[in-house]
């Protein structure tokens, strides 16, 4: 049934038919069938005049007198796939012949008898008015979707937001692909219908010819990669009817959406970014536990990631700048992808604009090559950022994982990328060495000021001293803790004699009112020193992994 189409059941509820006291005699379980039109006729060959989907009104003059004629009459209507047969009882036909009822039941054709006479013209007028009103309502919805898509684009949104709105309108997954068939982006309706497959699952299971009833619209554009001339195709928008049938109004809306997409793609040249955002959405869904683990490998294959039987390596890159320019993500995605092509291992790389991250999954041959591959991937990521005109990024490498654990490792690597130093002087950080910093970052992210209060309570007097007095004592404390309290090693690290070090440590102890040799004090002070880098944002410095 098409969305918002008049059904046989709805037609029987309209006043004109209700006044006829309708009684369903056959196929009561098929009253959900859509009514395309209403027609009245009394000739024996009425089936030849119908196209299918009609609700046929008759007084029975064309039924014939013999049971064989009546059965043939009903069978031909069923073969025409009309919506329902409605027979008005009266002087011509006091009761429905058994042959008519039995044949309608065997053919699954809804059969309704009216116990009172009604003007057929009133019935057809009501049904046609209802059909027109429903169609107009759908057109209004299509216009509303077009308006909302335009507002999204004017408000800074992009192709993914447009596709999600269109998926909600159709109730089906929506795909944008290159003319050659490579998937650029997939979006599904939200909330998804019960039992509906993920868009990537649908894409992976679609036959090459598509599903019957699909809507496929070309997104126009120019450029050498898509053929010269005004008729060139830049992309294709496709909607398969996997959750609900598609109506003509959906094609109208698709044509309008394709026009908007053409403008966006032409202006932004963002096909690479779109594909990367689609992969980033998959990796984020994996990290957040929104994917069934058993489905993840197949969906990854749809996106072009085919690792071997070895472990997976999650990696997250965070650009050093707080915000990548709006037109910079396309350049970054393309540059990173080119650099990673030379790494020599399977890599699935995406971008996530909401978090400003570049998540990756890398396929390893064996556990022992983790560090070597991590170094090559980090080098490629930093080269890609440089090619895109950005400063060196933060790169965090997670622990090796299986598909069952890759999501958790990817999530932890993402949090570690937020907690790690910026700007970074390291090629890459190991997420396993940043557990304390992730904890401190989570505390800061709560926004309740507890972390700042902790820093102020533990080392506040020392920070206040260094703001107005020299020499600064903070480097001495950091070196002392880094050397695990070994004073001779600390003095060598600071290039001072031991007496100078003892004097400085004494001043620090008096300022803090604490014994630095006490293990509990040393732990609290060490945490406060690391926590101060998280207080006030990323710009004040960075933590060390």
3-state secondary structure 7-75: EHHHHHCCHHHHCCCEEEEECHHHCCCECCEEEECCCCCHHHHCCCCEEEEECCCCCCCCHHHHHHHHH
Task: Extract the runs of DSSP E, i.e. beta strands, from 378-427.
Answer: 394-397
42-47 long-range contacts, Cβ below 8 Å, gap at least 24? 44/69, 44/73, 46/77, 47/73, 47/76, 47/77, 47/79, 47/80
Superfamily covering domain 8-128:
HprK N-terminal domain-like (3.40.1390.20)
Q: What's the N-to-C CA distance of the chain in angstroms?
A: 59
* Strands of the sheet with 37-40, listed across from one edge: 22-26, 111-114, 84-88, 54-58, 37-40
Q: Which residues of the chain are in CATH 1.10.10.2840 domains?
A: 450-540
Place of tokens 């027609």: 39
Q: Which residues pair with 183 in a beta bridge?
A: 177
Q: What angle do CA 431, 433, 439 make, to 5 degrees?
A: 80
Identify the CATH homologous superfamily for domain 450-540. Answer: PucR C-terminal helix-turn-helix domain (1.10.10.2840)
User: What single string gives the DSSP state of each residue in 279-308?
Assistant: HHHHHHHHHTT-S-GGGHHHHHHHTT----
Fold of 275-433: Alpha-Beta Plaits (3.30.70)
**Which part of the chain has CATH 3.40.1390.20?**
8-128
Backbone CA torsion sign across 507, 508, 509, 511: positive
pLDDT for res 148: 84
Q: Return residue ranges of the chain for CATH 3.30.70.
A: 275-433
- What is the C-alpha separation between 47 and 81, in angstroms, rounded? 10
pLDDT of the residue at 544:
38
Please give the pLDDT value at position 253.
86
Distance, in Å, from the CA atom of 198 to the CA atom of 205, rounded to the nearest integer, reads 11
Per-residue model confidence (pLDDT) at position 543: 37
| Cα within 13 Å of Cα(282), Cβ side | 29
Please, are residues 386 and 333 in contact by the beta-carbon 8 Å criterion?
Answer: no
3-class DSSP state of 390: coil
> What sign results for the dihedral spanned by CA atoms 449, 455, 461, 467?
negative
- Please state, as a whole number, how many other Cβ atoms lie within 10 Å of the Cβ of residue 481: 17
Whole-model pTM?
0.58
pLDDT at 442: 79
| Nearest alpha carbon to residue 157 among 264, 81, 63, 290 | 264
Beta carbons within 10 angstroms of residue 264's beta carbon: 18
Q: Are 313 and 400 in contact (CB under 8 A)?
A: yes
The torsion angles phi and psi of 472, rounded to 5 degrees, stand at -70, 135
Q: In the CATH hierarchy, which top-level class contains the domain 156-268?
A: alpha beta
The ranges of the chain annotated as CATH 3.30.450 are 156-268
Q: Give Dmax (Cα) for the chain.
A: 123
As a whole number of angstroms, the distance between CA 334 and CA 416 comes to 25
- Which residue positions in the chain have pLDDT lower than 50? 1-4, 223-230, 537-545
* R_g over Cα of the chain: 35
């Amino acid at each position: 049934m098409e969305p918002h189409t008049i059904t046989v059941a709805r037609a029987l509820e309209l006043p004109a038919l209700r006044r006829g006291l309708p009684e369903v005699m056959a196929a009561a379980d098929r009253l959900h069938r859509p009514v395309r039109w209403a027609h009245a006729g009394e000739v024996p060959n009425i089936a030849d005049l119908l196209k299918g989907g009609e609700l046929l009104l008759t007084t029975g003059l064309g039924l014939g007198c013999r049971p064989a004629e009546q059965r043939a009459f009903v069978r031909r209507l069923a073969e025409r796939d009309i919506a329902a047969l409605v027979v008005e009882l009266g002087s011509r036909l006091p009761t429905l012949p058994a042959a008519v009822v039995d044949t309608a039941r065997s053919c699954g054709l809804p059969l309704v008898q009216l116990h009172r006479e009604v003007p057929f013209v009133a019935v057809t007028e009501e049904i046609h008015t209802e059909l027109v009103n429903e169609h107009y309502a759908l057109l209004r919805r299509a216009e509303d979707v077009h308006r909302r898509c335009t507002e999204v684009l004017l408000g800074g949104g992009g192709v993914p937001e447009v596709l999600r709105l269109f998926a909600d309108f159709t109730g089906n997954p929506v795909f944008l692909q290159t003319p050659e068939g490579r998937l650029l982006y997939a979006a599904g309706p939200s909330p998804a219908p019960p039992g509906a497959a993920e868009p990537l699952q649908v894409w992976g299971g679609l036959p090459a010819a598509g599903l019957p009833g699909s809507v496929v619209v070309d997104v126009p554009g120019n450029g050498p990669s898509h053929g010269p001339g005004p008729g060139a195709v830049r992309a294709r928008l496709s909607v398969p009817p996997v959750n609900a049938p598609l109506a003509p109004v959906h094609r109208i809306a698709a044509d309008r959406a394709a026009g908007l997409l053409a403008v966006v793609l032409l202006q932004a040249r963002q096909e690479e970014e779109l594909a990367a955002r689609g992969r980033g959405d998959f990796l984020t869904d994996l990290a957040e536990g929104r994917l069934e683990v058993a489905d993840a490998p197949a969906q990854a294959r749809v996106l072009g990631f085919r690792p071997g039987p070895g472990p997976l390596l999650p990696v997250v890159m965070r650009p050093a700048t707080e915000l990548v320019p709006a037109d910079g993500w396309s350049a970054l995605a393309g540059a990173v992808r080119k650099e990673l092509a030379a790494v020599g291992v399977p890599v699935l790389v995406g971008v996530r604009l909401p978090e400003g991250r570049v998540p990756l999954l890398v396929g390893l041959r064996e556990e022992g090559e983790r560090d070597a591959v991590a170094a090559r991937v980090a080098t490629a990521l930093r080269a890609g950022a440089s090619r895109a005109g950005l400063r060196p990024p933060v790169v965090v490498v997670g622990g090796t994982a299986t598909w069952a654990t890759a999501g958790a490792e990817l999530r932890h690597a993402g949090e570690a990328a937020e907690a790690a130093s910026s700007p970074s002087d390291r090629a890459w950080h190991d997420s396993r060495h940043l557990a304390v910093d992730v904890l401190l970052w989570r505390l800061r992210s709560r926004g309740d000021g507890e972390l700042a209060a902790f820093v102020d309570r533990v080392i506040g007097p020392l920070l206040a001293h260094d703001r107005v007095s020299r020499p600064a004592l903070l480097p001495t404390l950091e070196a002392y803790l880094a050397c695990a309290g070994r004073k001779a090693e600390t003095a060598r690290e600071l290039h001072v004699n031991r007496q100078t070090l003892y004097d400085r440590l004494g001043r620090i102890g008096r300022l803090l009112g604490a014994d630095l040799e006490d293990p509990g004090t040393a732990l609290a002070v060490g945490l406060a020193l690391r926590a101060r880098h998280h207080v006030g944002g990323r710009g004040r410095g960075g933590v060390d992994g």
